[in-house]
């Protein structure tokens, strides 16, 4: 299985997650999640961000891209487990 292709629906869902509450809380929780699930990615993001003029922006983009890919992978997996429409026949 390769990297999923992110759909517009998934993008909208992640944007909704980010904007429904405090974005700083969302990002802090997302960073904690990435540290637990994929510590090498979290370390890479931290090290890479610290080399740039705006480390917060770099970290934010990295975390959001991670979440987009993770959310799409989850959606794709659900689609396989619970097909809808003609695929369910």
Nearest partner of 9 among 75, 58, 65, judged by Cα: 75
Q: Report domain extents, the chain.
A: 8-81
Consecutive sets of 10 residues in the chain, 89 residues long: mean pLDDT of each?
94 93 86 98 97 96 97 96 70
- Distances in whole angstroms, Cα of residue 32 to Cα of each of 5, 12, 38, 51, 84: 24, 22, 10, 21, 33
Q: For the whole model, what pTM was predicted? A: 0.86
Q: What is the pLDDT of residue 87?
A: 55
């Amino acid at each position: 299985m390769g990297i999923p292709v992110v759909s517009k629906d998934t993008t909208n869902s992640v944007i909704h997650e980010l904007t429904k509450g405090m974005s700083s809380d969302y990002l802090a929780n997302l960073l904690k999640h990435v540290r637990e699930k994929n510590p090498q990615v979290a370390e890479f993001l931290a090290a890479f961000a610290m080399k740039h003029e705006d480390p917060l922006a770099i970290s934010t983009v990295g975390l959001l891209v991670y979440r987009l890919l993770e959310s799409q992978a989850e959606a794709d997996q659900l689609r396989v487990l619970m097909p809808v429409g003609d695929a369910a026949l």
